[in-house]
Amino acid sequence: MKDSMKKGFSFGLTSGVITTLGMIVGLHSGTHSRNVVLGGIFLIAIADALSDALGMHISEESEYKHTTKEIWTSTISTFIAKLVVALTFAIPVLFFGLSTAIIISIIWGLSLITIFSYHMAKMQKIKAWHAIAEHLITAIVVIIITHYIGDWVGSWI
């Protein structure tokens, strides 16, 4: 896989998991509404995927060392990875009760982070447990913080 595609895919996958998990956990704890959570997933899949892709595009351009093709490869791979990953979180919400769907989504998201971190560590020839732990801790902190922010916002409603 080319570096520009790898960069876009890894950014899109990671952002797709962390952002979508944070959003669904926060919306669930704040509203307990399947429609709100599902709407949030679809909105984040489109809006944040486009935003991240544009961010990647501008970041790559600002380095002044990539070809136009490399820049667009990173941009498109970021968009597709973020879109697809975010949309996978809609599946449990569509087919299970909301509380169960949130648990399945957390397991799914943490599994994706674990698998990707393991693969990345092996490619870099570093200790996999270190990369996995670092990335999982970050994801779990996001989940915990967004849960409590959702509770806090939900107390206003």
- pLDDT, one tens digit per residue, over 21-75 is 999 999 999 999 999 999 999 999 999 999 999 999 999 999 999 899 999 999 9
Contact between residue 31 and residue 99 where contact means Cβ atoms under 8 Å apart: no
Ramachandran angles phi, psi of 155, nearest 5°? -70, -15
Q: List the domain boundaries for the chain.
A: 3-154
- pLDDT, one tens digit per residue, over 87-126 is 999 999 999 999 999 999 999 999 999 999 999 999 999 9
For residues 3 and 48, the model is more confident at 48
Phi-psi region of 32 (alpha: psi -120 to 50; beta: other; left: phi over 0): left
d(CA 73, CA 105): 29
Q: What is the pTM of this model?
A: 0.92
